[in-house]
Amino acid sequence: MQESESIFDVVIVGGGIVGSVLAASLKPSGLRVAIVETQPLDVVTQRKRAYAMSLLSQKIFQGLGLWSEIESASGKYRNIQLSDEDFSQVVRFRPQDLHTDFLGFSGQHEAMLTALQKTLATSEQVQWFCPARVMGVSYGADAATVSLTTVDSGSLQIQARLVVGADGARSPVREGAGIGTKGWKYWQSCVTFVVEHDAPRNDIAFERFWGTGPMGVLPLPGNRCQIVWTNPHAEAQRLKSLDDASFLAQLQPFVKPLGQVRLVGDRQIFPVQLMQSDRYVKERLALIGDAAHCCHPVGGQGLNLGIRDAVALAQILTEAYTQQKDIGQLPVLRRYERWRKLENLLILSFTDLLNRLFSNRFLPIVLLRRFGLMLMSAIAPLRLFALKLMAGQKGKQPDIAMSVE
């Protein structure tokens, strides 16, 4: 590799959805971008998972010119229903509340990441180092030096004015920079899986709360749904270990609105945590997505927050570059931190409150939350506020979404 080929403006560590959204958002800027990913690209795309995608995330993908490709593989929900165990009061959110056709989408990991990889492949400004592993980062006054090891080239170094950690909740980039975190691991794990069902319609997203934890149901194309079933760790492990017939027998009473269900594919399990980094930026470093924060999956906000981080950072960097400012200096990066850190903290706190309030069988709390559901169902402004929060319509909107009609 020639020396000029090892010098970039931005090095993104992590080639998943959030890191790739950042790179795609930087395509028009003229900034030279490197993406470092530990796994081969075809392996990265193969994760069999769908995510709740807010209306804001949809607009962001529209702004990137990728929505038409992603939409064909996405589930769509016109309604969202919140309920508490067998309590008769159900909170229903409808499209007319927001004057939209849909309230959200179920984006499939493979479709989103494949679309992102295709658009990045057409850019001369983006170079992949994949598979490659970061061995260390040295932060200097004018640039950061990233030491890599790759299968093809062995050890090498690349330089950039800014390093972005998009490398997940256990971010080596964050830890290597000495940035601490606050938060906790929950007593719960999520079992996630896909089912086919016999319900006559497939355009409703359900969030049903049980004493052991919430259950989220997202519609997918082909009369399928992805289910995220939260339980205490031991119970989640037990559910995952059951044979299919026994598992379905345990599941069926929880998903009566779907009729008879059939498993499609394997069950996966992951523990749940809340985490907020003490800071999102240092000189020559910024954190986005799970490297900066993690929240409980109730409400389906996790990936949406990471996507907003990515486009917010891209907007800040593009503006700074246009103004001939050093994109790795703290005055520039703190604009990103001020934009995103408080907004993320509000969502983290909201999801934590929801989980603690509803994953509980203490009678006074049960009565309180059911009264809250009744209020939300009866008071339209309260219901609208909650819906706008989930849809990403609260807080500062990125330019890329504002430009979409």
**What local confidence, expressed as pLDDT, does residue 132 receive?**
95
136 is a domain residue: yes
Residue 71 within any structural domain of the chain: yes
> For residue 3, is pLDDT > 70?
no
- As a dihedral over the C-alpha atoms of residue 299, residue 300, residue 302, residue 303, rounded to 10 degrees, the angle is -150
φ, ψ (nearest 5 deg) of residue 188: -120, 155
The pTM assigned to this predicted structure is: 0.94
Tell me whether residue 159 is in a domain: yes
CA quadruple 73, 78, 80, 81: dihedral, nearest 10 = -120
Give the three-class secondary structure for 230. strand
> Residue 360 belongs to a domain with what CATH number?
3.50.50.60
Write down the pLDDT at residue 14: 97
- Tell me if 35 is assigned to some domain: yes
Average pLDDT over residues 219-240: 95
Question: Cα separation of 304 and 79, whole Å?
Answer: 19
Q: How many domains does the chain have?
A: 1
Report the DSSP beta bridge partners of residue 167: none
Q: Is residue 80 part of a domain?
A: yes
What's residue 238's pLDDT? 97
Question: What pLDDT score was predicted for residue 16?
Answer: 97
Identity of the residue numbered 365: I
**Does residue 121 fall inside a structural domain?**
yes
The helix (H) or strand (E) run that includes residue 105 is: strand 104-108
Q: Return phi, psi of residue 354, to 5°.
A: -60, -50
pLDDT score for 318: 98
End-to-end Cα, the chain, rounded Å: 44
Distance CA 70, CA 192 (A): 21
235 domain residue, yes or no: no
pLDDT per residue as tens digits for the range 6-42: 899 999 999 999 999 999 999 999 999 999 999 999 8
Structure confidence at residue 405 (pLDDT): 62
Per-residue pLDDT tens for 117-159?
999 999 999 999 999 999 999 999 999 999 999 877 788 999 9
Is 379 inside a domain boundary?
yes
Letter for the amino acid at 70?
I
Full domain range(s) for residue 159: 3-182+274-402
Q: Is the pLDDT of residue 70 over 70?
A: yes
Secondary element (H or E) of residue 117:
helix 109-121
Give residue-wise pLDDT tens across range 335-360: 999 999 999 999 999 999 988 888 87
Residue (of 10, 15, 20) closest to 36 by Cα position: 15
pLDDT at 2 over 70: no
